[in-house]
Amino acid sequence: MAAARAQDAEPGDPEGRAAARPLLTDLYQATMALGYWRAGRARDHAEFELFFRRCPFGGAFALAAGLRDCVRFLRAFRLRDADVQFLASVLPADTDPAFFAHLRALDCSGVTVRALPEGSLALPGVPLLQVSGPLLVVQLLETPLLCLVSYASLVATNAARLRLIAGPQKRLLELGLRRAQGPDGGLTASTYSYLGGFDASSNVLAGQLRGVPVAGTLAHSFVTSFSGTEVPPDPMLAPAAGEGPPVDLAARVEAWLERVCAHLGLGVQEPHPGERAAFVAYALASPRAFHGLLDSYSVQRSGLPNFLAVALALEELGYRAAGVRLDSGDLLQQALETRGVFRTTAARFQVPWLESVPIAVSNNIDEEELARLVQEGSEVDVVGIGTSAVTCPRQPSLGCVYKLVSVGGQPRMKLTEDAEKQTLPGSKAAFRLLGSDGALLLDLLQLAEEPPPQAGQQLRVWPRGSQEPLTVSPAHVEPLLRLWFQRGQLCEPLPSLAESRALAQLSLSRLSPAQRRPQNPSPCQVALSEKLRDLVGSLGARGPPVSTSVVTT
């Protein structure tokens, strides 16, 4: 395994612009921008909130992710001449040319973004992002910001669930690039699976661009490409310590094979010679990282004896095999049987380290299979997950929304027959209230003008979905939304991906075991301050103001 250092993308580079450009948007954003401009409201100050309504996968939490990509997008936001020309071709032919001149001058220098740090625990209705600035501009940001945040947060949450199921000791590898929804989806999935708790990815580009640790060994095609008749151009391998003459590894493997087969009680049928030749070739190329893929033919009759012959030949030269992988059959049982063979072989040939060679498994592993593979007594050390990590089959979308909450300093609220789709008006602050043990009590939403809650202070709050108030006395209070972007610049350095990954694990540790359960968890509470609740009630009683006609569903 190796890790590359991530390079922060500058505006215009492939990582920043190619994944999200201003025209990665819906046409109705441009038609509304034209409407704002024509009404003389393009520069009205407005604030939007990006949030989700329900926790994904039937769980009790989500992880906030995608902020780094959003900042890159905002810093690079400019419509090129070609962008404006295309918009002119799809908007009404009689559109005033002055509107397009306005678009050419747009940037995000007037935009302010407050957000949850990446890796933070996120709850329904609590903003992941608050975006304020000129109405026309912040409207144009809706679709690309949703695109950048929704999938990243979904993947990170999915990875966190898999990590919670696996426990802290098992290594989790993300192997889903070939199954991802396109190259951008693959890069996003690899990045945010790591943030959510995976240990490494097979995606080399994620290593180069994002600093994700990368891992990989060999596939069945490598094993089956050998017939056993191939002669290595140079079968000689020098001892690991560099002392002594090189040894013909292929010859030593053949000598060990006879002893291994006798120990395992195998009959006259020889383990597959092509598989053995593949293992020898891989060992010659990477003697310090030799892995065996055991199930190309038969694990017990071929894969294991061939692997052991190579591993023991390498051991004579001072090298230790790095692991094996199983990719078919009953993985839990196969791992148990493989570990048993390792133990008896280690004892027979007095090679103690052999009994603890890591066993990796892969093969369309989902949450249920993962839970089975990590049960007590399992001999699985490493789990590779592809499709279930990158496609999130339990829920394909987080369902984030981006809603207008104020214009010109006046609160705005979307009213609808569907109570779930009503929005919370006004510019808000959010706080996490914690108990004396650091456990989550609830997240509190209040108007920005209200004084922040204080540790030890008794608060009367209104849990969402409840008609009764709750009194709570937090031992600790944490502000959730931090100022990240203003006047076109970062306000503080973004944490590294590894730091956000550590924050994610800290965030999850604050949940109770019942809240961390993947199925039927206890919900986490979100509450409103009395002042915010009163504002919701007063606006709801008045009916929708005329200006809500610009709010989209």
239-273: pLDDT as tens digits = 999 889 999 999 999 999 999 999 999 976 899 99
Overall size of the chain counted in residues: 553
Q: Cβ of 257: how many Cβ atoms within 10 Å?
A: 22
pLDDT tens for each residue of 107-165: 999 999 999 999 999 999 999 999 999 999 999 999 999 999 999 999 999 999 999 99
pLDDT at 419: 74
Which residue, chain included where needed, has tokens 């906030």? 64
Residue 540's pLDDT band (cuts 50, 70, 90): confident
In 91-227, DSSP assigns E strands to 112-115, 121-122, 129-134, 171-174, 200-201, 213-214
pLDDT tens for 64-90 read 999 999 999 999 999 999 999 999 999
The confidence score (pLDDT) of residue 19 equals: 54
Q: At what angle do helices 27-38 and 81-90 cross, to 10 degrees?
A: 90
Unique residue bearing structure tokens 């300093």: 409
CB 157 within 8 A of CB 196: yes
- Min mean pLDDT across 6-10, 130-134, 149-153, 526-530 is at 6-10
Burial class (CB in 10 A: 0-12, 13-18, 19+), 24: middle
pLDDT at 20: 86
State pLDDT tens for residues 309-365. 999 999 999 999 999 999 999 999 999 999 999 999 999 999 999 999 999 999 999
Q: How far apart are CA 1 and CA 85, in angstroms?
A: 47
Which residues of 352-487 form beta strands (DSSP E)? 359-361, 382-385, 401-407, 410-411, 428-434, 440-447, 459-463, 470-472, 476-479, 482-486
> Per-residue pLDDT for 483 more than 70?
yes
Q: How much is the pLDDT for 267?
A: 75
The pLDDT confidence band at residue 543, using thresholds 50, 70 and 90, is low
Q: Are strands 526-529 and 440-447 parallel, antiparallel or unpaired?
A: parallel
User: Judging by DSSP bridges, how do beta strands 171-174 and 382-385 pair with one another?
Assistant: parallel
